[in-house]
Amino acid sequence: MKHMKHGALAPSRWALAALALALAAGCTHRDSADEALNKALAAQGASREHIAKFAGTVTVDGQPPGIKVYDKHRLVLMLFDPKNPPSASHPILFADCMPEPNDGAFEFSTYDRGDGVPPGDYIALFVDMPTSWGGGYKGIDRFKNQFNDPDRHANVEQFKVSLTEPGHGDWQFNLVTDDPASTAPGPKTVYQPSSK
């Protein structure tokens, strides 16, 4: 009976195969989150926009808003672009003021948390909205439309947001609720009141 020589070689062949597999696995390139995002955008015929950081704090009558996680409302900051008003195909940019810590901190995100928004000239608008079950907002603005009309805010210096790269994270807004300005919603008011 002939001795089978390959029997003695089999372990080394398996070792070589395992080594080849290990090297192949080690050399396999996994896309980073940035690369995956760029590929997804390219597949849609889009590319990544330039971004400017936009973060800071909002106070109400000089005090932190004090909204906590379990509260059933949120202070929402929106950026209105007068050159490209919001529409069904172009939603308004917005961010909740973070409930914890409850100091009125906010940050806008486009691709990564806190990275910002496209540079441009915006008008900052605010609502204090009840939250609905499962997310979203529903009901009446607790500010009674005092801070969500872009026409009213267009000439108020603190609400003009001119963002250039790289942006910054120390924006400060103070909403004064005893302002005698009319609270009737204007034609461009972003959030119209609801009785529901």
Which segment, 86-90, 119-123, 140-144, is predicted with the most confidence on average? 119-123
Query: For residue 170, what pLDDT is reported?
Result: 92
Q: Is residue 75 part of a domain?
A: yes
Averaged pLDDT score across all residues of the chain: 75
Residue 25 has pLDDT above 90, yes or no: no
Residue 53 CB neighbours (<10 A): 19
Give per-residue pLDDT as tens, 129-178.
887 776 677 778 888 888 988 988 898 999 999 999 999 999 999 999 87
Specify if 185 maps to a domain: no
Count of domains for the chain: 1
In a domain, 194, yes or no: no
Question: Is 16 contained in some domain?
Answer: no
> What is the predicted pLDDT for the residue at 132?
74
Which domain covers residue 58, as residue numbers?
Answer: 53-175
Q: Name the token pair of 167.
A: 């942006």
10 belongs to a structural domain: no
Cis peptide bond prior to 86, omega within 30° of 0:
no
